[in-house]
Amino acid sequence: MNKDAVASDEGSVLWALLPGMVVVAATGGSARHVSPEFAAFAGAQRETLQGSGWLALLDTASRLALLAALARPASLVLSLGLRLGNGEQRWLECSSCWMPRQACHVCLFQDVTAGRQAEQAALAQAQLLRLTADSVPALIAYYEAQTFRCVFANRQYARTFGWDEVSILGRTFAEVIGEQAAREISPHVERMLQSQQAVVYERELPDEAGRPRWLEVTLLPHVDAQGRSIAAFVLIHDVTRHRLAEREARESEERLSRFLQASAEGVVFHRDGIITDVNPPICALTGYALEELLGRSVLDFVPPEQRAKVAAVRAAGQDVSYESEVLDREGRRIPVEFIGRTLMHKGEALRMSIVRDLRDRRAAQARIHHLAHHDALTGLPNRMSFMDELDHRMGFAAGAGEQLALLFIDLDDFKRVNDSLGHMAGDKLLQTVAMRITETLRSTDRVARFGGDEFMVLCPAVRQLSEVETVAGKLLAAIEVPVDADGRLISVTASLGIALYPTDARSPAELIKHADSAMYLAKSRGRANYQFFDPALAHTAYAALVMESRLVEAIEHNEFVLHFQPQVRHHDGALVGAEALIRWQHPERGLLMPDSFIPVAEQQRLMWPLGQWVLREALRHVRRWREEGLALAPVAVNLSTVQFQARGFVEAVERVLKEEEVPGDWLELELSERMLMDDLPEVKAKLQRLKAMGIQISVDDFGTGYFSLRHLKELPIDKVKIDRSFVRDLPAAQDAAAIARALIQMALSLGQDVIAEGVEQAAQRDFLAANGCAEMQGELISRPLAAEDFRAWMLERAAR
């Protein structure tokens, strides 16, 4: 036991009289006396608490504070935290009295745990409140109403005005936000205090970085039980985001409206079909002022029959475009395109329709349509549109029991004008003719250019043929007037064919075809006239002329080929010659036989160039084969009357032989009986000149004409060809057999060779051979072959 402990013993009896929790401690903190109440409170033996034992109860901070206080010889009041033996946390309030005499502190303790806990809870509450206030995204403050001093402010509030949450306390409103601002705001404050109602206003206050910032301020009065406004809550929200969004929306709306004002397209806004806005082009389009349009139904401006469609599209809210019409103020229909769109505007679906004026586009389309339906050179309707018109008129005429006349006009020899004077003159001529035709006609008549130099005229409601004849005569006369093309006077005539509906045709195509053939009839009757369709004549004239026009091209385009048919001697099978036979490789109709085009060529003076071509081509082939070493006796070339009778024929043959460097005896010319019958001396002279060149002469189709024995005797003929019509019926038919035998005998008696053509069967061959016909040509040996095939045929025979 130390000295202090001994000294305490003196007063311990007295101290024991003190009620309550008492500890008597020396300045060093050592307890000289611990009351039973204190020990009971501590839940420990008094002995353990004696000396420094009691200090162990205290938490460190309390202990240090206590020791520091006890060290001074003065009374003290202290709050102490301690932990009991059972681990419970308690707070004691210690008030000590310094006893100078005993040099000790008499410490009286009071259990303040309950109060302390409440205090702590309140503190925690306050802290939580602070935390909450500092965490919410709002500025919060509380001002006392009498003095306008700040009692509470959250951190954001304080910082916004340049304070912190402590320094702001006690400041007046004006100090916090500035004199100027306070003056501005005071009306709101007044209002709030007077009305005792919340007041909301907005302030624009730049942030620290100087960016614009909008604050929404709510002032809430704090009214006490007596109904006095004792304070004001200030609640501030930063509404910058909303304001910016609003501004953006407003600007974009402004932009849209500026755009709409400036747009050339009409734009209509409507809600459930009721117009809410339009832009100026809509007013211009419809002729209505904006006020006249607002609030009206869009359907009021759409023609009745289109309303259902427009309404359906709108109701479906489809984003579609379609063509329709708009009625303007005068009730005129304007073709437009509607482009419907649904926009979300301020949270509601707003319908926007772009209204595009289609008049320009329609005009362009009309121009294109015109171009497609008219001939560019003359401006007249073209074939296509004429056909439509014709179809339409015929349909009408059929119903009305009306008669129509179709006039087909074709210029005579236009090709020559074009070729000799040039296309410019040709074009000028066509334009003038087109104009004159148009001028000659009545307004109800229709005219078209059908291509090239062909024009069509349709006269409706014809009562008498004489009317049509008058028109036709006028047209021919008008066309014939000379045309001034670049100072040169050109004149053309036209051939005109007329077909009538319903007399001549049922369909437009047939009517045209018949007018066409009537036109060809006019051509064949000397041109420069008109003809009505005549079913009896149409066929021949038409076919021939169609062929003629194509034949010229065929010559130019080299569409002809030669086939070769071998001629063979019976007893030894020797190749004695070949006949060149022309074919037309027609681009559409295929390989055409000579019977279908030779008569036309003869009629149309085309036989001469065609004949020359055959001659040259045959000789070229023969020379090539000869050069190859193929032993081919003369090639036989058929002549037509036109060729043989032409002046200069012999010279022409001579020239070709020379040019092709072929000797005359490689050539045989086949003439028909008829050619040889005309002027005997002249024919004889020609044949002699040909023979003088070494050319052989044969008589084709022998037996079919009126060839007399006298002719046969007098003319220098080498060979006769028994016509295949006699050969065909051999040997069974008695007549044929008799004629064939006689023909062969006649020729043989004159010392001429005989060849039979069209030999198809062995029996025919045997009969002919038995009767002295040594040479044969026909399918039994070979059908006519293309040049290459004929060459192969010869090679094959040579190899045998």
- Residue numbers at the binding site for Mg ion (CB under 5 A): 638, 670, 700-701
> Which candidate, 437, 569, 535, 566, places its Cα nearest to that of 492?
437
Residue 720 CB, shortest distance to ligand C2E, in Å, is 12
* Number of residues binding to ligand C2E, judged by CB under 6 A: 23
Query: What's the start-to-end Cα distance of the chain, in Å?
Result: 162
Nearest residue (CB) to Mg ion, 726 versus 767: 726
760 binds, among Mg ion, ligand C2E, none (CB under 5 to 8 A by kind): ligand C2E
What's the farthest any 2 CA atoms get from each other in the chain?
200
Per CB under 6 A, 758 contacts ligand C2E: yes
Looking only at residues 584 through 603 of this chain, which bind ligand C2E when binding is defined by CB under 6 A? 593-595, 598
594 binds, among Mg ion, ligand C2E, none (CB under 5 to 8 A by kind): ligand C2E
* Structure-token pair, residue 472: 């036709």
Which residue among 219, 511, 582, 794 contacts ligand C2E (CB under 6 A)? 582
Which residue among 538, 581, 712, 773 contacts ligand C2E (CB under 6 A)? 581
Nearest residue (CB) to Mg ion, 142 versus 702: 702
Classify residue 769 as exposed, middle or buried by CB count within 10 Å of its CB (0-12, 13-18, 19+).
middle
Which residue among 565, 698, 764, 771 contacts ligand C2E (CB under 6 A)? 565
**For 780, phi and psi rounded to 5 degrees?**
-60, -35
Which strands make up the sheet holding 404-411, listed edge to edge? 446-451, 454-459, 404-411, 494-501, 530-532
582 binds, among ligand C2E, Mg ion, none (CB under 5 to 8 A by kind): ligand C2E
Q: Count CB atoms within 10 A of the CB of residue 296.
A: 14
Per CB under 6 A, 617 contacts ligand C2E: no
Nearest residue (CB) to ligand C2E, 309 versus 783: 783
Residue 615 CB, shortest distance to ligand C2E, in Å, is 8
> Which candidate, 169, 131, 137, 132, places its Cα nearest to that of 156?
137
Contact stretch for ligand C2E (CB under 6 A) within 204-212, 271-279, 633-641, 691-699: 633-641
Nearest residue (CB) to ligand C2E, 447 versus 598: 598
> Which H/E stretch holds residue 225?
none
238 binds, among ligand C2E, Mg ion, none (CB under 5 to 8 A by kind): none
Per CB under 6 A, 566 contacts ligand C2E: no
**Residue 730 to residue 761: CA distance in whole angstroms:** 9
Residue 636 CB, shortest distance to Mg ion, in Å, is 7
**Residue 583 to residue 561: CA distance in whole angstroms:** 5
Residue 611 CB, shortest distance to ligand C2E, in Å, is 6
At 376, the amino acid letter reads A
Q: Which whole-number Å values give the CA distances from 66 to 20, 33, 92, 349, in the listed order? A: 19, 16, 12, 77
Which residues, 6 or more positions from 700, have their beta carbon under 8 angstroms from its beta carbon? 638, 670, 671, 672, 673, 721, 723
Nearest residue (CB) to Mg ion, 516 versus 700: 700
Nearest residue (CB) to Mg ion, 238 versus 670: 670
Helices (H) and strands (E) in the chain, counts: 29, 32
778 binds, among Mg ion, ligand C2E, none (CB under 5 to 8 A by kind): ligand C2E
DSSP type of residue 111: E
Classify residue 176 as exposed, middle or buried by CB count within 10 Å of its CB (0-12, 13-18, 19+).
buried
Which residues, 6 or more positions from 279, have their beta carbon under 8 angstroms from its beta carbon? 260, 261, 263, 266, 267
Residue 757 CB, shortest distance to Mg ion, in Å, is 5
DSSP symbols for 259-319: HHHH-SSEEEEEETTEEEEE-HHHHHHH---HHHHTTSBGGGGS-HHHHHHHHHHHHHT--
Centroid of chain to Cα 96: 104
Per CB under 6 A, 614 contacts ligand C2E: yes
Which residue among 345, 362, 724, 797 contacts ligand C2E (CB under 6 A)? 724
Contact stretch for ligand C2E (CB under 6 A) within 14-22, 46-54, 635-643, 654-662: 635-643
Contact stretch for ligand C2E (CB under 6 A) within 114-122, 190-198, 304-312, 638-646: 638-646
Q: Count CB atoms within 10 A of the CB of residue 642.
A: 20
Contact stretch for ligand C2E (CB under 6 A) within 145-153, 648-656, 676-684, 758-766: 758-766
Residue 761 CB, shortest distance to ligand C2E, in Å, is 9
Classify residue 502 as exposed, middle or buried by CB count within 10 Å of its CB (0-12, 13-18, 19+).
middle
Per CB under 6 A, 568 contacts ligand C2E: no
Contact stretch for ligand C2E (CB under 6 A) within 84-92, 232-240, 247-255, 634-642: 634-642
Classify residue 34 as exposed, middle or buried by CB count within 10 Å of its CB (0-12, 13-18, 19+).
buried
Looking only at residues 774 through 793 of this chain, which bind ligand C2E when binding is defined by CB under 6 A? 778-779, 784
Nearest residue (CB) to ligand C2E, 548 versus 757: 757
* Structure-token pair, residue 390: 């014709």
**Residue 785 to residue 515: CA distance in whole angstroms:** 41
Which residue among 701, 703, 741, 743 contacts ligand C2E (CB under 6 A)? 701
Site string for ligand C2E, 639-678 (x = CB under 6 A): xx-----------------------------x--------
Nearest residue (CB) to Mg ion, 504 versus 700: 700
Residue 400 CB, shortest distance to ligand C2E, in Å, is 52
Give the pairing of strands 321-327 and 454-459.
unpaired
581 binds, among ligand C2E, Mg ion, none (CB under 5 to 8 A by kind): ligand C2E
Residue 724 CB, shortest distance to Mg ion, in Å, is 6
Applying CB under 6 A, the residues found at the interface with ligand C2E are 565, 581-582, 593-595, 598, 611, 614, 638-640, 670, 700-701, 724, 757-760, 778-779, 784
